């Protein structure tokens, strides 16, 4: 790492390792951000089983808990005290595995301390969590193999990393084809000027290192990921008046995105997809992101990239995908249960249009 990047990394290490004792010490509402859509019961139950000390040392924003996790291999970037890792380990079950990586020794010690506790709490024969001390920019050096993960999550941590492009490249490398990066982070309404990045408290709070949200969109696509799909977002309030003054007209929000590693030579074409209602906890509809809500047994036309995501990811068995076609008006009418109730001209029941 360059000297400036190392200084910012050390700043984050010290801020979260020594300065902060709990979420109450944070100067923004980032750790209190709530998901904009209800969590499934299984996720709530899993979070409630996490040890109180682990939860106390949680500093994230949002809640990166994607759907359909049973048996998955998950990597948590910047796992901190391990709160999300333990909740996810309950959801992946004994056939899955969750790996957390964090650069802060104090937080890694907390997370490792409670491995036996959660194994017993969940009733597992053996632990299904591993915690690595290392850097998100050097995943392979930390022991994470390329093409080994089904899902990568991260909770308000990438904003603390000075070299975000390298983090995203490493994430891309260790994901399997069809794998997903599903994460929450802080974003800025404008480009953050360099002098704010040099403020240790602003950097530690995530404000100094937050990406301008439009730059984030360009960056992930440059690395090779699919278009990022926004799932939820909430405003972040700055409680400290001095920090608020320093930020000036820049406002902050937490946003949760999902993006996928698609096969490079995949030919993408628009398609018609129908959700089967088979994803656990979502029998009636799957709210994939803020723009795509798939209702059971209702055909929906999607663009080529979304069709490819559904075809190549773990969601493939949950959809009927018809490519290279147009949505039939008869199929749509069947799905919607549509029928003519009255004549548009006369307002009478069918058969009355020709009457005089």
Does residue 251 lie in a domain region?
A: yes
Residue 200 sits in the same domain as residue 315: no
Query: What backbone torsions phi and psi does residue 224 show, to the nearest 5 degrees?
Result: 130, -5
CATH of residue 316: 3.40.5.100
**Confidence (pLDDT) at 267:** 80
pLDDT tens track of the chain, all 356 residues? 566 555 545 544 554 444 445 444 444 544 444 455 678 999 999 999 999 999 988 876 656 899 999 999 999 999 999 999 999 999 999 999 999 999 989 999 999 999 999 999 999 999 999 999 999 999 999 999 999 999 999 998 999 899 999 999 999 999 999 999 999 999 999 999 999 998 888 888 889 999 999 999 999 999 999 999 999 998 988 888 888 899 999 999 989 999 999 998 888 888 999 999 999 999 999 999 999 999 999 999 999 999 999 999 999 999 999 876 566 677 677 766 655 555 555 656 555 554 44
Domain shared by 150 and 8, yes or no: yes
Q: Kindly state whether residues 203 and 278 are assigned to the same domain.
A: no
49 in the same domain as 95: yes
Residues 244 and 157 in one domain: yes
Domain boundary pick from 260, 284, 312: 260
Do 181 and 150 form a contact (C-beta atoms < 8 A)? no
Same domain, 247 and 299: no
Does residue 340 fall inside a structural domain?
no
Tens of pLDDT, residue by residue over 103-154, are 989 999 999 999 999 999 999 999 999 999 999 999 999 999 999 999 999 9
Give the residue numbers spanning the domain of 163.
3-260
- Crossing angle (nearest 10°) for helices 213-223 and 164-174: 40
Verify that 241 and 141 share a domain, yes or no.
yes
Within the chain, strands assigned E span: 73-77, 97-102, 129-133, 149-155, 175-188, 211-212, 229-236, 252-260, 271-275, 285-287, 293-295, 299-302, 319-323
Q: Are residues 16 and 159 in the same domain?
A: yes
According to the model, what pLDDT value does residue 30 have? 46
Residue 53 CB neighbours (<10 A): 13
Q: 31 and 180 share a domain?
A: yes
Residue 354 domain flag: no
The per-residue pLDDT for range 218-267, each reduced to its tens digit, is 999 999 999 999 999 989 888 888 888 999 999 999 899 999 999 988 88
Is position 345 within any domain?
no
State residue 36 phi and psi, 5-degree precision.
-80, 0
Residues 101 and 162 both lie in one domain: yes
Q: Which of 204, 237, 260 is the endpoint of a domain?
A: 260
Dmax over CA atoms of the chain, in Å, equals 87
Residue 343 lies in a domain: no
What confidence score (pLDDT) does residue 281 get?
95
Establish if 298 belongs to a structural domain. yes
Is residue 239 domain-shared with residue 286, that is, in the same domain?
Answer: no
Does residue 338 belong to any structural domain of this protein? no
Between the two ends of the chain, the Cα-to-Cα distance in Å is 84
Torsions phi, psi for 144 (to 5 deg):
-90, 120
In the listed set 229, 260, 291, which residue is the last one of a domain according to the structure?
260
Residue 31 is predicted with a pLDDT of: 44
CA distances, 167 to each of 4, 100, 174 (Å) = 17, 15, 11
- pLDDT score, position 337: 66
* pLDDT value of residue 68: 97
Residue 221: CATH number of its domain: 3.40.50.150
DSSP 60: -
Let me know whether 247 and 283 are in one domain. no
Number of structural domains the chain divides into: 2
Residue 344 inside a domain? The answer is no
């Amino acid at each position: 790492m360059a000297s400036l990047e190392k200084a910012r990394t050390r700043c984050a290490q010290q801020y979260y390792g020594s300065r902060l004792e709990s979420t109450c010490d944070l100067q923004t509402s980032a750790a209190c951000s709530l998901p904009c859509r209800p969590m499934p019961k299984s996720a709530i139950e899993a979070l409630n089983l996490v040890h109180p000390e682990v939860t106390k040392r949680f500093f994230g924003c949002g809640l990166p808990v994607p759907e359909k996790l049973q048996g998955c291999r998950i990597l948590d970037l910047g796992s901190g005290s391990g709160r999300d890792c333990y909740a996810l380990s309950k959801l992946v079950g004994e056939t899955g595995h969750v790996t957390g990586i964090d650069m802060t020794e104090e937080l890694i010690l907390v997370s490792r301390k409670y491995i036996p506790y959660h194994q017993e709490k969940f009733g597992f024969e053996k632990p299904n969590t591993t915690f690595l001390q290392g850097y998100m920019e050097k995943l392979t050096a930390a022991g994470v193999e390329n093409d080994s993960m089904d899902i990568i999550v991260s909770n308000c941590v990438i904003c603390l990393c000075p070299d975000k492009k390298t983090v995203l490249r490493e994430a891309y490398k260790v994901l399997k084809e069809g794998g997903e990066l599903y994460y929450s982070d802080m974003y800025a309404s404008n480009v953050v000027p360099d002098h704010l990045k040099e403020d240790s408290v602003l950097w530690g709070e995530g404000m100094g290192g937050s990406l301008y949200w439009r730059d984030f969109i360009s960056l992930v696509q440059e690395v090779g990921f699919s278009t990022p799909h926004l799932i939820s977002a909430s405003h972040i309030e700055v409680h400290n008046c001095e920090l608020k003054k320093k930020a000036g007209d820049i406002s902050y929000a937490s946003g949760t995105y999902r993006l996928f590693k698609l096969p490079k030579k995949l030919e993408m074409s628009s398609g018609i997809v129908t959700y089967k209602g088979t994803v656990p906890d979502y029998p009636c509809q799957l709210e994939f992101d803020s723009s795509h809500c798939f209702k059971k047994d209702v055909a929906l036309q999607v663009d080529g990239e979304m069709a490819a995501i559904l075809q190549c990811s773990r969601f493939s068995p949950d959809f009927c995908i018809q490519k290279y076609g147009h949505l039939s008006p008869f199929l749509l009418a069947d799905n919607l249960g549509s029928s003519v109730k009255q004549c548009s001209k006369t307002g009478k029941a069918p058969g009355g249009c020709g009457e005089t």
